[in-house]
Structure 1
């Protein structure tokens, strides 16, 4: 029975993603908390690619990357807790707990020496992962269009206006989720997309209850300070930023702080730059992957 369910899920996801056959399954990461994962590609000598989406998004936002990179390696994309098809819970909606969830998925699926790719909120999750586990078990890190948030200490007079905007937006989101999600997608995706894809992304975003969505955002930006994770990274790192990012300078500074980090800017793209300019993003990621050192013996 489980095999038939997996086959059905694979066929559905292949139709959705328009690429190689994929498998969709649930992984228990904590008592009563199941994470939805999408897996594609075969195990090869190349490091697996693990894709972590941003706030309220699900694994489907990585559709083009799953299609492209699963031709040469194993690819896993996750729905973080309380997002997409994963369990909705009022507990643990923080970068640190999502980092533990990610670790649980890697262990459950026997993923060795992965390259972790985090976008937006996913950058906070990877920073928390590095804080908790270091980078010895990784082949590399890719941080997409976000600096590492400074936590509550970042609420300074200099940032007062930006923080006020965040709280105003969250108040609107909690009252008018559908309208907010529509405007949110229009803001982060600036290049024309097939209507059905935008509808799918909006439907995924609507699966996060608004009260939980607000809690996630506040924990991401004003919770624990994981900025010291930059000093713990000992693996090749790629930072990719949109040319329109308000955090461009902070992302550049982050790249300068991480030894040997590569910093790239994608032009004519919004926050979801891998959706707006998939060919450019995929090429940058492919170059980074090709340059990774071989796994050390032993």
Structure 2
């Protein structure tokens, strides 16, 4: 592998299923997993920054980016198994798993099914392990009515998905006013995921429950949760009470590592230096 550039390649993680990854650097591995519909490309700043000391790998999960599009397996239990397949195929150990948004579910799913023996720590970015709850004090992705409306009325076409992520990018992900070219760039990455896969993954994410495994991770290994500013009043107390082993850091919007890479990278670097 060339040490001085980002390498793009495919890794077989299950029969007939290849995941696309971006990789740079040598050393102990940092494995980045993006959220719903996004690809490892969103972590380019982290690939460049951390590759001077680490082997940095950014995944396109099944159904996303340039990875295989399959009619089955568009759920987070399968995503966890795909992560295990990737780890085995690349011979990784002493890993820091870093999930963003629904990439947190990939991370917790992997730990639930395969344990922590190959991990040094876990970093999760801005998503609850129990995304749906009627409790108003719970950190959720929205009300039952809101999430039902998105699943059954919006994510039913390519146009609906694009509209949803356009509103989400400008209202939740990014704090600055984006120029049309930047928004188009983000929507083009998201648009590599077919709408029907997006809908399957969205519904599976909403009904996922990784609370107990997330608690176990925090209690038994170094763990960090980044939280966006817009819901810190709910999310920070939630993490501190429900996931007491996690360090927390509040900054930016949902896509804070992309919008504020220098600050975000330094926070992650401080966490890694303590391990």
Structures share a fold, TM > 0.5? yes
3-state SS of the aligned residue for 1:82? coil
User: Rg larger in 1 or in 2?
Assistant: 1
Inter-partner Cα distance in structure 2 for 1:226 and 1:94: 13
Residue 33 of structure 2 corresponds to which residue in structure 1?
Answer: 52
Indicate conservation of the 8 Å contact 1:146/1:251, yes or no: no
Inter-partner Cα distance in structure 2 for 1:99 and 1:107: 13
- After TM superposition, the structure 1 stretch with the greater mean CA deviation from structure 2, 83-92 or 247-256, is 247-256
1:243 has 2:229 as partner: yes
Where do residues 1-298 of structure 1 align in structure 2 (5 Å cutoff)? 20-42=4-26, 44=27, 47-149=28-130, 154=133, 156=134, 162-170=143-151, 171-175=153-157, 176=159, 177-187=161-171, 188-192=173-177, 196-223=181-208, 225-233=209-217, 234-245=220-231, 249-258=234-243, 260-266=245-251, 269-292=252-275
Indicate conservation of the 8 Å contact 1:37/1:77, yes or no: yes
Indicate conservation of the 8 Å contact 1:34/1:86, yes or no: yes
CA root-mean-square deviation: 2.4
Inter-partner Cα distance in structure 2 for 1:163 and 1:148: 16
Residues 160, 146 of structure 1: alpha-carbon distance in 2 compared, 3 angstrom cutoff: closer
Note the alpha carbon deviations across 1:222-254, whole angstroms, 9 max, x for none: 14x221102322210011101113x75345433
Inter-partner Cα distance in structure 1 for 2:114 and 2:216: 10
- Once the two structures are TM-superposed, the CA of residue 196 in structure 1 deviates from its matched residue by 4.9
Between Structure 1 and Structure 2, how many residues are aligned?
A: 266
Indicate conservation of the 8 Å contact 2:19/2:62, yes or no: yes
TM-score, length of structure 1 as denominator length: 0.81
Inter-partner Cα distance in structure 2 for 1:220 and 1:273: 21
Indicate conservation of the 8 Å contact 2:104/2:127, yes or no: yes
Inter-partner Cα distance in structure 1 for 2:188 and 2:7: 20
Indicate conservation of the 8 Å contact 2:228/2:250, yes or no: yes
- After TM superposition, the structure 1 stretch with the greater mean CA deviation from structure 2, 176-185 or 187-196, is 187-196
3-state SS of the aligned residue for 2:193? coil
- Once the two structures are TM-superposed, the CA of residue 80 in structure 1 deviates from its matched residue by 0.4
Inter-partner Cα distance in structure 2 for 1:253 and 1:157: 12
